[in-house]
Amino acid sequence: MYEDQFPYLHQYRVFYSQLDIILKNNLTIQQDNEEIGLLIGFLESLNYRLCEGGPSLEIGVRHGGFSFIMARLFHLRPMMVDIKNYVIKFHELFDNHNIRFTFIHGDSTKKETVDEVKTRLGGEPIELLMIDGYHTYEAAKSDFDNYSPLVKPGGIILFHDILDPGPKKAFNEARMNHLSLEIVSARTNHRHHIQGLGFGILFYQLGTVREEGMRVGGGF
């Protein structure tokens, strides 16, 4: 159904099925669909395994589409933090698909929010952390500093919008100590109209190899 709209995702038909569910619920994915497809394909190409049923944490949620996709494809248990209260909307989507989720209404940079996240986790390590809150350097760095220690060794930390100056600076600082790479769609690089702003990926506590070149579109 979506091959014409998203031809670069033809090899990830499972992604279409999740996208179909999201669109039927009048929701959207805030991130660029091509970049998410490339991210999913990259993790699958590595045969990368996240602990089934383990928690993910998304900072800056909006419509919940990203956490929904990760929960469906990698069987993660989503926890989401946002300054706006979207919990009623999420119940309609997540509950209907038997996905257990936690939503925390608060400012991710505030101590009380960090403390609530820790309480809700109960000592369980995060499998995947998505940093997509305020797009300032200070906020992105704060989110990394506050929540990365909660990620398991070998877990994944994503910075979104790494072409924005603030997240880009925070990601470049963080990647100095972790295996890292970038995913930025070809459409972002070659058009004046920016459709996606890139993912920065850290494999937490897995060395310091740095890959610059995954600025691709349509495949690997």
What is the helix (H) or strand (E) element at residue 131, kind and residue range? Answer: strand 126-131
Identify whether the C-beta of residue 191 lies closer than 8 Å to the C-beta of residue 38: no
Distance in angstroms (rounded) separating the CA atoms of residues 61 and 136:
16
pLDDT tens-place string over residues 3-47:
444 444 444 555 555 556 655 655 556 667 777 777 877 776 665
Q: Over the range 181-208, which residues count as b (16 or more CB within 10 Å of their CB) and which as e? A: bbbbbbbbeeeeeeebbbbbbbbbeeee
Please report the domains of the chain, with CATH numbers, ordered by start residue.
7-203 (3.40.50.150)
Helices (H), 31-64: 33-45
Position 219 scores a pLDDT of 32
Checking if the pLDDT of 189 tops 60, the result is no
Other CB atoms within a 10 A radius of the CB of residue 209 amount to 11
Tokens found for residue 142: 């704060």
* Strand-pair category, 77-82 with 102-105: parallel
pLDDT tens-place string over residues 132-150:
999 999 999 999 999 999 9
Q: pTM here?
A: 0.81
Distance in angstroms (rounded) separating the CA atoms of residues 104 and 47:
31
Distance in angstroms (rounded) separating the CA atoms of residues 76 and 123:
16
